[in-house]
Structure 1
Amino acid sequence: MFNAVPRHFGALPARTPTISSIPRSQFPPNRHYSSSLTSRYGNLQRHYRYLPTSHFSQVRSYKTSMERFREEMREGSRGIWRKHPIGLPLMILAASMSMVMLGFAIHGHRRRREFLSKFPAPVTDQLRKAVYYTEIDLKPAEAMMWYKRALIAADQIDMHPFSDEVVGIRLKAVEMLERAELVIPAAQTLEKIRADCRQWVINGRRKQIIQEKERAGKGASEKVDPEATEEENQLRQREELEGRFRDRAIKRTVGAGIKLGELYASDYIRDLEKAEKALSGAVEDGIAELQRRRQLDLPVLSEEGEDHLNLKEVATAYTELADLYTKRGKHDLATILYIQALPLVKEDEGASTTCAQVVLLNNVASQIAEQAHHIPPASATPPTPPSAQQTGASGDVLLPQSREQLLDAATQWAKKALDVAEHIKSPIRDEECDQACLAATYNLGELAEMKREFSLARRFYEESRSLAKAQGFKKGVKKADEALKRVKDL
């Protein structure tokens, strides 16, 4: 092929002899030699007579269009970087941000479409405008007006007032108010939803009990009427539907209480009394519902697609109230609630232990240690019998009384947290578990320091420092360094 021609052949000497440049007087008389030389150079002249001179200066390379495109792009990119060293990165960043925003817009559109697809057309017409003034152009007054019109339209077409769709509209209005930082109106609206759901559940279950008693009072000897039987079946189907709605309503009641505790404790309101009241109500509602379901032998575990209140949600209500007590300095009450939440989590998880148990165990240890901090070292409080340190005769949680007992109990809870975490492996083990182990290890150091076991305290502090460094937790490293400095010379 032509591409295989060596370069020295393409770069012939500039003064290559031809027939016309050789004087005839120099040809030897030998005709055979003359004709051979003439034939050689004559052929060379005829072969290259019509080729351009530049052909011999380089070898032509044949490239595909893709290769030429890549070369042009490479040359162009080098030129762009040289000419626009600042503008080009900014342009790339702007393009990336535009793509991200486009992705969010597509996701939001899909989510809004799924939300609106649940409603009939008369409701959707009103709700679409409400969602627009919630997520696209936030205007609380206009959005609330359209939410109310959507609820009126739902009532006109006889949608159930406590169905998922109608209650969802009311909760969407709460979300809109919170997004607009109108937290007090959001809390008031949520309080109304919570009260309505609770009262409807109470009235409905009373009515259900009366109906069951009436059915039981009817004699079995009565003549069976096919039409009455069909009506009875339809009535039972409606009651089953109402029962599912009530299960979801009480589930929302507990959830609304937890959310109200968050809103009242936020920086917008800062009313811890109302937050405590809302969370206490959520705990009470959760306990009552669990007791009812256990008595009726109904499921209480958390399952996919469930409609009922489960153990994990009640445990969440316990822990939220305990966290609030921790903020208010009521460490004894917080300890009791954490301990009461632990068996609910264990029962729900079964053999598949998760990091939630580790966090609860460490929280118990932390709260008991806080109680010990408030007791002077020389306290002579009478010790509590070991058998009564956990639960009393009525099942209530009883805690140690003396400082030494509190320190020993906190140490046991912290070590238990580390033992449970040791058996949790990836992928179940997550960052939350690592942070709980770090906190438990540091707590063990503080507890040993309070017991004046300084060598043991240094060991736990050094271990907590290593864990904090491995997790990239700079604040934890700093705190461990301060603790090590404190017990260095003791």
Structure 2
Amino acid sequence: MLGAAASRRAVAIPRTLAHRHHQHAFSFSTRSIPSILRSRPTGAPTSLLRSVQPTTIQTRPISFAQRMKRGYQEASRGIWRNNPILLPLALLSVATATAIFSYIAYKEATEVGPQYHKFPPPVAERLRTAIYYTDVKLNPVKAIDAYSEAIKLATELHMHPYSDEVMGIRLQVSKCLEMAGLVPAAIQVLEKTRADAYHWVRTRMETEAFKNGESDYFFARGPSAEKGELAAGPMKVDPAIAETYEKMKEAEIYEYGQVEKTLAKVVGMSIKLAELYKSDYIQDDQKAEEALEFAVQLSLGEVQRRHQAKLPIGGGNWMTLTEIGTALSELGQHYASQGKLDLSLPLYLRAFDLINANEGGTPSCKQVTLMYNISACIGNPALDGVSPSSDPGVSRAEAIEATRKWAQGAIERAAKVEPSEESVECDYSCAAAKVMLGQLAVFHNKPEEALKYYYEGKDIYDRIEALSDAEDVSRLIKDLEKKKK
């Protein structure tokens, strides 16, 4: 009896664990607990039922954006888990491509685009094609066709035939042919361009106003212009006439400036022609000399005209003093290569004066090279017992002393030059000057001093990898050491 009663009481007590299990199962529903669970079981104590009464869970609906975000999060976790190697590579590829395209856009905006902004769009379009077939994928046939079309369009659009832009196109044609190895064709184009430009310059320079520098280009900046403006102040001028006059004035100033620029380009083209004539393709020293002489004559003639007109000798639209000096030194170097030291010496001296004046006395590699060249032009004939033909009145001893001063000056100036890309040229000239001082020491019977200069020069030649020159100095050292024994 007692056992049966105990079992009935145990059955009558509700199982709270089972009830909690039901509560947990429905805890994620958006609705309240079902009514069947809220009904009170028959025969259960009231206090116990109250203790396990479930509460209703209130939830808010998820928005579309939240569902999308949750979906993306789950998808991203799945992508990283499923593609641990390919996904990083894909992201790296996208980043690299973005960087490359950004760099290309930057180059286009800062370097490539500005080269064409002075050209009308049709001309610029053909130029882009021509430059591509010149600098990127060399194809002279397609490049020349594009250049020709660009020049034709420039003429139709009334661009100045000797403006910087049009002249640049014509010079690019010669450059393209040279790059393709068609040097005779490049010379032909450059000769035609130079002849046309020089004829136009001569035509413009024959006017008396240009010879004397009498142009609005100068009067617009002088006191006479101020007086004219004050005198014309009270007068009433038709705006249309004034505008036309200003345009004519601007055209005259532009024309005058283009004459000077074109003349400078003629000098540059002559120097380039000399380089092409001396190249391995042609090897015509006579025509190279003629081209260099033409460049020097033009330069010195313009210097004289500007001096007589009381204009700046260098600068502005015309060549700088350094550029004029470079033209002189090119001809001097050509004469020196042919053994005409008496002709090269005055050119070197004049070039050094111009370059030194333009650079304000600041040491440079050009100065060092010219100083050594001057010492060589004086010293080599003197060491051979020949008086300088440029100045027969100079004795051999005076020539030797002048050589020493110029060579020593080249070494001292080279030590003051700031390191740059031209330092190799500077070092080469410095080494050659030391060898020259060594030869002078041998002449004065000072073998120890000569060996010192020889070894210093050889060390510099070895450092700049001038192997042939280093070998020549080594032979001088061996010969001198044999004589000492």
Length-normalised TM-score, structure 2? 0.67
Q: Which residue of 2 aligns with 1:444?
A: 437
User: In structure 1, how many angstroms separate the alpha carbons of the residues matched to 2:125 and 2:306?
Assistant: 40
User: In structure 2, how many angstroms separate the alpha carbons of the residues matched to 1:327 and 1:429?
Assistant: 22
User: In structure 2, how many angstroms separate the alpha carbons of the residues matched to 1:324 and 1:359?
Assistant: 15
Q: Of the candidates 237, 252, 257, which is equivalent to residue 226 of structure 1?
A: 237
User: In structure 2, how many angstroms separate the alpha carbons of the residues matched to 1:311 and 1:424?
Assistant: 20
Structure 1 residue 400: Cα displacement? 5.9
After superposition, what is the alpha-carbon deviation per residue over 1:272-291, rounded to whole angstroms, capped at 9, x for unaligned? 11111111111111112223
Q: Which residue of 2 aligns with 1:335?
A: 345
Please tell me the residue identity of whatever aligns with 1:250: L
Please tell me the residue identity of whatever aligns with 1:362: Y
Are the structure 2 counterparts of residues 260 and 470 from structure 1 closer, same or farther at C-alpha, using a change threshold of 3 Å? closer
Q: From the CA coordinates, give the structure whose radius of gyration is larger.
A: 2
After superposition, what is the alpha-carbon deviation per residue over 1:258-316, rounded to whole angstroms, capped at 9, x for unaligned? 111111111111111111111111111111222333344444455xxx53211001111
Are the structure 2 counterparts of residues 329 and 483 from structure 1 closer, same or farther at C-alpha, using a change threshold of 3 Å? same
Q: Of the candidates 228, 247, 257, which is equivalent to residue 260 of structure 2?
A: 247
User: In structure 2, how many angstroms separate the alpha carbons of the residues matched to 1:276 and 1:175?
Assistant: 21
User: In structure 1, how many angstroms separate the alpha carbons of the residues matched to 2:323 and 2:259?
Assistant: 16
The correspondence of residues 237-316 of structure 1 with structure 2, limited to 5 A, is 237-301=250-314, 306-316=316-326
User: In structure 2, how many angstroms separate the alpha carbons of the residues matched to 1:214 and 1:464?
Assistant: 54
Q: Which residue of 1 aligns with 2:356?
A: 346
User: In structure 2, how many angstroms separate the alpha carbons of the residues matched to 1:298 and 1:314?
Assistant: 16
Percent of aligned pairs with the same amino acid: 32
User: In structure 1, how many angstroms separate the alpha carbons of the residues matched to 2:121 and 2:460?
Assistant: 57
User: In structure 1, how many angstroms separate the alpha carbons of the residues matched to 2:236 and 2:473?
Assistant: 80
Structure 1 residue 425: Cα displacement? 5.0
Are the structure 2 counterparts of residues 205 and 470 from structure 1 closer, same or farther at C-alpha, using a change threshold of 3 Å? closer
After superposition, what is the alpha-carbon deviation per residue over 1:44-81, rounded to whole angstroms, capped at 9, x for unaligned? xxxxxxxxxxxxxxxxxxxxxxxxxxxx99xxxxxxxx
Are the structure 2 counterparts of residues 151 and 426 from structure 1 closer, same or farther at C-alpha, using a change threshold of 3 Å? closer
User: In structure 2, how many angstroms separate the alpha carbons of the residues matched to 1:333 and 1:107?
Assistant: 48
Could you tell me whether the CA contact under 8 Å between 1:325 and 1:331 is conserved in 2?
yes
Could you tell me whether the CA contact under 8 Å between 2:123 and 2:150 is conserved in 1?
yes
Are the structure 2 counterparts of residues 481 and 214 from structure 1 closer, same or farther at C-alpha, using a change threshold of 3 Å? closer
The correspondence of residues 469-484 of structure 1 with structure 2, limited to 5 A, is 469=462, 471=464, 473-484=466-477
User: In structure 2, how many angstroms separate the alpha carbons of the residues matched to 1:358 and 1:213?
Assistant: 39
User: In structure 2, how many angstroms separate the alpha carbons of the residues matched to 1:434 and 1:111?
Assistant: 34
Query: Which runs of 5 or more structure 2 residues have no equivalent in the other structure?
Result: 1-83, 86-98, 220-227
Length-normalised TM-score, structure 1? 0.66
Q: Which residue of 1 aligns with 2:197?
A: 197
Q: Which residue of 1 aligns with 2:144?
A: 144
User: In structure 1, how many angstroms separate the alpha carbons of the residues matched to 2:105 and 2:185?
Assistant: 28
Q: How many residues align?
A: 372
Could you tell me whether the CA contact under 8 Å between 1:441 and 1:461 is conserved in 2?
yes
Please tell me the residue identity of whatever aligns with 1:356: K
User: In structure 1, how many angstroms separate the alpha carbons of the residues matched to 2:107 and 2:152?
Assistant: 29
User: In structure 2, how many angstroms separate the alpha carbons of the residues matched to 1:105 and 1:230?
Assistant: 41
Q: Which residue of 2 aligns with 1:29?
A: none
Q: Which residue of 2 aligns with 1:324?
A: 334
User: In structure 2, how many angstroms separate the alpha carbons of the residues matched to 1:290 and 1:210?
Assistant: 14
User: In structure 2, how many angstroms separate the alpha carbons of the residues matched to 1:285 and 1:356?
Assistant: 22
Q: Which residue of 2 aligns with 1:408?
A: 401
